[in-house]
């Protein structure tokens, strides 16, 4: 019995020290397109319906950050860099408690809970000087009826990925063309 107790202490001690740390490092994608997640605890809705909250947030931030990189990197000229600082995120749907056999909450996705993201971006030239910048607030009100939703249907964050794609295709070229 004592051996079991000591084993539990040894196994649980890294989890306790990791859970107690306030210096959570969220994925920040670096390179020509850098994505920074600023104060994620203040975001409107990045709640996990099941599992560990920090793992879910890590997955969400990594997935959306990679999408920003994939979409924006081809728009940059040689030597240019683009920094995106995300200040708010609201995932599609709303997390509600389940009052049934399941112990986990559920995310209810309805048109009254559209996805949204707020961020600032700054484009810098090869010399490091700012060329253009803007503050962006995207809210995809008609997210359930978008024509190309099939492209991301197998992805966990398909509404949010589509929202980023539409912003890059529809709104960003105007800003880059004015430089």
**β-bridge partners, 118:** 88, 137
Supply the pLDDT for residue 103: 62
Supply the pLDDT for residue 123: 94
The residue ranges of the chain whose pLDDT is under 50 are 1-25
Supply the pLDDT for residue 146: 64
Global pTM value:
0.72
> Could you give phi then psi for residue 102, rounded to 5 degrees?
-80, 140
Supply the pLDDT for residue 112: 72
Looking up tokens 């009100």 gives 141
Q: Kind and range of the H or E element at 165?
A: helix 158-170
Nearest to 121 by CA among 108, 112, 134, 109: 134
Supply the pLDDT for residue 41: 86
d(CA 102, CA 51): 13
Q: Kind and range of the H or E element at 87?
A: strand 81-90
Supply the pLDDT for residue 62: 92
Q: How many DSSP H helices and E strands does the chain contain?
A: 4, 6
Q: Which CATH number fits domain 24-177: 1.10.3470, 1.20.120, 3.30.160, 2.50.20?
A: 3.30.160
């Amino acid at each position: 019995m004592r051996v079991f107790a000591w084993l539990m202490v040894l196994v649980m001690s890294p989890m306790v020290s990791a859970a107690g740390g306030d210096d959570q490092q969220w994925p920040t994608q670096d390179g020509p397109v850098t994505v920074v997640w600023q104060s994620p605890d203040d975001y409107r809705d990045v709640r996990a319906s099941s599992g560990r909250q920090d793992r879910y947030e890590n997955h969400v931030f990594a997935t959306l950050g990679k999408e920003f990189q994939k979409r924006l990197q081809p728009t940059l000229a040689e030597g240019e860099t683009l920094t995106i600082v995300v200040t708010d995120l609201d995932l599609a749907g709303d997390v509600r408690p389940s009052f049934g056999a399941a112990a986990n909450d559920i995310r209810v996705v309805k048109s009254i809970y559209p996805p949204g993201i707020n961020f600032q971006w700054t484009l810098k030239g090869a010399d490091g000087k700012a060329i253009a910048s803007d503050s962006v607030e995207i809210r995809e009100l008609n997210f359930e009826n978008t024509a190309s939703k099939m492209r991301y249907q197998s992805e966990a964050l398909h509404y949010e990925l589509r929202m980023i794609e539409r912003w890059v295709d529809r709104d960003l070229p105007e800003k880059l063309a004015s430089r």
